[in-house]
Amino acid sequence: MNVNFCLTLTIFVVLIESFTDGTCNNEIKCHISKVRSMKGADCYDRDFREFPQCIRSDIEIIDLTKNRIKQLRRSDLERYKYLKMLYLQDNFLIKIENTTFNDKTDLTTLDLANNGMSKIPQNIFHLPSLQSLYLSQNTNTNIVETMERAAPITSPLTQCDISFCEIDRLPEIGILPTLVKYNISGNNLNELNVRQFSGLCGLKYLITLNVTITLEDPCQCWNTNRWLKGKNVEFKPFECELKENLCKEVPFNKTDLVAYEKCSILLREITAKSMLKKILIPVLVGLIIICIGIGYYCRRRKKLNKKALYHKKALYEDSAPMAEEI
C-alpha cells in the first residue's frame, strides 16, 4: 500500500511538472539582455524547430536567425504582446498563417529573409508601426501580387528589401511616401517603368546591384533612369539594353506626375507631424520644468518673506512689549 501511494505520488508529480514547467525545462534557452534599452532574446542558431514559447512574455526583440522553424501561426506569437523586432532570417519557413501578425501593433522590424514561403500575409503591409521589412531571398513568393493587392500600403515602411526574390517585375505599389530605402538587387526584370516608382516620393536610396533588364520596350529603361535621376534618388542606373541616343525622350505620363504630387503632399504632412512631435514634446517638457522651477522659487520666496515678517514681528514684540498691551 505504501509503495502504491509513493508510485501514485510520483506519477502525480511528474504529470504536474509536465503540465507546468516541464515543457519550458525542455525548451532551448535564449540569452536575454538589454538592447538599446529594450528587452531582447538572442536565439541565434539554436536549432529551434518551433517558435519558442518560454521566453518571458514582455520581450521586445526576438532574434531567431538561423534556426529550423517551418511555420508561423498566430498562436506562436500570441503571448509576445510587446514584440517590436522579429528576426527570422534563414529558417525553413514555408507557411505563415494569415492572422499571424494580427494585433502586433508595436512591430517595427520584421525580417523574413532567406526562407521558402509561397505566400506572405497581406496584412503585414497594414501593421501600424512596421518600418523595416526584409523579404530578400524568398524565391517562390507572391510578393509582387501581395504588395499590389495591399496597396495603398498603410504601414510607415521606410525600408523594404525584396532583393534576390526572382521576381520579373517590380510591384506597382502606388503611393508610399515613407519609403526611403528600397533594395531590389539581384532580380532579372522584364518589366520596368516609371509607374513602379512614381508613388515613392520619399525614396532616397535604390539598390540595383546585380539587376538585369530585358524589356519589351527597351526605352522604358532610360525613362525610368531619367525619372529617378530627376527625383534625386541615389542609385546605380539600370544597365539598359539600348544606347541612350536610340531612345527618344518622351514626357512622363500624367498619371505618374499626379501620383508623385499626391505623395509629396502626404510626405509634407507626415514630416510636419513628426516635426511637431519632435519640437512640441521637448518644448512642453521645457515649459513644465520652467513652471515647476517658478513654483518652487515663489514658494521659497513666500517662505522667506514669512520668515522675515515673523522675524520683524518678533523684533517688534521684543523691543516694545508694552506697546501691545496699551
Ligand X SMILES: *[C@@H]1O[C@H](CO)[C@@H](O)[C@H](O)[C@H]1NC(C)=O
> 10 Å Cβ neighbour count for 286?
10
**By CB under 6 A, is residue 233 in contact with ligand X?**
no
Residue 122 touches ligand X, criterion: CB under 6 A:
yes
CA-CA distance, 274 to 299, in Å (whole number)? 37
- Residue 255 as a binder of ligand X (CB under 6 A): the answer is yes
**270 burial via Cβ count (<10 Å: 0-12, 13-18, 19+):** middle
The nearer residue to ligand X, 67 or 223, going by C-beta atoms, is 223
* Site track 281-320 with ligand X (rule: CB under 6 A), x = hit: ----------------------------------------
210 binds ligand X (CB under 6 A): yes
**Taking CB under 6 A as the criterion, which residues in 44-103 touch ligand X?**
98
* Total residues in contact with ligand X, by rule CB under 6 A: 14
Binding region for ligand X (CB under 6 A) out of 28-36, 61-69, 180-188, 233-241: 180-188
164 binds ligand X (CB under 6 A): yes
Residue 97: CB minimum distance to ligand X, A: 8
Q: How far apart are CA 171 and CA 186, in angstroms?
A: 15
Which of 102, 109, 142, 253 forms a contact with ligand X (CB under 6 A)?
A: 253
How many CA atoms does the CB half-sphere of 226 hold within 13 Å?
14
Q: Residue 280 corresponds to which cell in the numbers above?
A: 512640441
When asked if residue 142 is in the footprint of ligand X (CB under 6 A), the reply is no
Helix (H) or strand (E) holding 90: none
Shortest Å distance, C-beta 75 to ligand X: 15
Q: Work out which of 65, 91, 136, 225 binds ligand X, going by CB under 6 A.
A: 136
CB of residue 42 to ligand X, shortest distance in Å: 22
| Separation of alpha carbons 283 and 202, rounded Å | 28
DSSP 281-298: HHHHHHHHHHHHHHHHHH
Q: What is the DSSP string of 212-238?
A: EE--SSTHHHHHHHHHHHHTT-EEPPP
The DSSP output letter for 169 is B
Residues interacting with ligand X, by CB under 6 A?
A: 98, 122, 136, 161, 163-164, 183, 185-186, 207, 209-210, 253, 255
